[in-house]
Amino acid sequence: MTVTQSAPTGVPAPAAAATATTRKKQHFSPWQEVWRRFRRHRLALASSIVLGLIIVTVVFGPLVWTVPINEIDFAAKLQGPSWAHPLGTDDLGQDVLARMIYGGRISLAVGLAAMVVAIFVGVLVGAIAGMASGKVDAALMWLSDLFLSLPTLPLLLLIIYLFRDSLKAVFGVEGGIFIMIVVVIGGLRWMPAARLVRAQFLSLREKEFVEAARALGASRTRQVVQHILPNALGPVIVAATIDVAAAIIQESTLSFLGLGFPPDIPTWGRLLADAKDYLDIAPHWALASGAAIFLTVLSINFIGDGLRDALDPRRVI
């Protein structure tokens, strides 16, 4: 028998072991195995390509498309797509493509950063609750229940409404709003991750390999960091993917409602909000920004679905 069950380093270690016994010649590392399983989900694979293209466009776009985002030209306002302006122009004659590329940077950055905040807090709370049990666990779960029963959007709006002026003064317009939106969106989305991590910890900490580590005298931190956390990572990665999509939607919603980034900073939601008053004469404007949000969110959701299949060791693909 080929023994591939080393220390539980990656998530799908059992699955890797299972395939290793069926195909004795081939050796797969856990992450190769995840990739092999992920490829089977065609929509997820196509979505990764789409998302990759969007990211490349947004990151390297300004190097190729050098039209400034705030060049006002009233002679060319509200024009449809043309060679000079592939996605047309807005009500001030500004180039929509350039603004979309710039806005995409902000939208994606907000999505990623808010996800990091949500997952960090979620993993921390979940890990503490899962390891401590007893009163600490009960209190933390009560807190997460409380947060789950908060109306997220009204609260988001309330916090931004109350704090935006003072943060603007401290961190500047762009930085202040960015930090606040990221912290607030992330701070209201940690609960699902916390519950997931707690549930994983509760079952993993009783497993034999953790018991073995404990018997060998591993400290609590070492048990968590080396043995439990890597094995709880699968569902967390899936939750993190979904969180990026949700954070992008929430940021766009805030900008759409006029309470996100200030009007002169284009984000996808802001572009859509500006475009909504010109739906009848310049529908291309709204369609472009809306489609960008939709495509990004859809592809992230599909990737999350593919990862869910790929990272679940019990699932046979």
Binding site for another protein (CB under 8 A): 43, 145-146, 148-155, 157-159, 161-163, 165-166, 245, 249, 252-253, 256-259, 269, 272-273, 275-276, 279-280, 283, 286-287, 290, 293-294, 297-298, 301-302, 305
| Closest CB to another protein among residues 119, 160 | 160
- β-partners of residue 89 are 95
| Closest CB to another protein among residues 191, 204 | 191
Backbone angles phi, psi at 89, to 5 degrees: -130, 165
| Closest CB to another protein among residues 100, 275 | 275
Find the shortest distance in angstroms from Cβ 125 to another protein: 16
Find the shortest distance in angstroms from Cβ 297 to another protein: 4
Find the shortest distance in angstroms from Cβ 107 to another protein: 11
- Residue count (the chain): 317
Give the count of alpha carbons within 13 A of 57, CB side only. 16
| Closest CB to another protein among residues 145, 264 | 145
| Closest CB to another protein among residues 154, 217 | 154
Q: Which two tokens stand for residue 108?
A: 């994606």
Query: Roughly what angle, to the nearest 10 degrees, separates helices 134-148 and 96-132?
Result: 150
| Closest CB to another protein among residues 73, 145 | 145
b/e burial code for range 43-56 (CB count within 10 A of at least 16 → b): ebeebbebbeebee
Find the shortest distance in angstroms from Cβ 129 to another protein: 17
Find the shortest distance in angstroms from Cβ 228 to another protein: 27
H or E segment and range at residue 245:
helix 233-256
Residue 119, C-beta contacts closer than 8 angstroms, at least 6 positions apart: 190, 193, 236, 239, 240, 243
Type of residue at 53: L
Find the shortest distance in angstroms from Cβ 42 to another protein: 11
- What DSSP state is assigned to residue 276? G
Type of residue at 110: V
Give the count of alpha carbons within 13 A of 238, CB side only. 19
Q: Which two tokens stand for residue 278?
A: 């010109």
Find the shortest distance in angstroms from Cβ 190 to another protein: 15
Q: Are 79 and 92 in contact (CB under 8 A)?
A: no
Separation of alpha carbons 310 and 10, rounded Å: 13
Which of these, 286, 140, 263, 291, lies nearest to 201 by C-alpha position?
Answer: 140
| Closest CB to another protein among residues 34, 273 | 273
| Closest CB to another protein among residues 178, 268 | 268
H or E segment and range at residue 118:
helix 96-132
| Closest CB to another protein among residues 192, 234 | 192
Q: Which two tokens stand for residue 179?
A: 């930090």
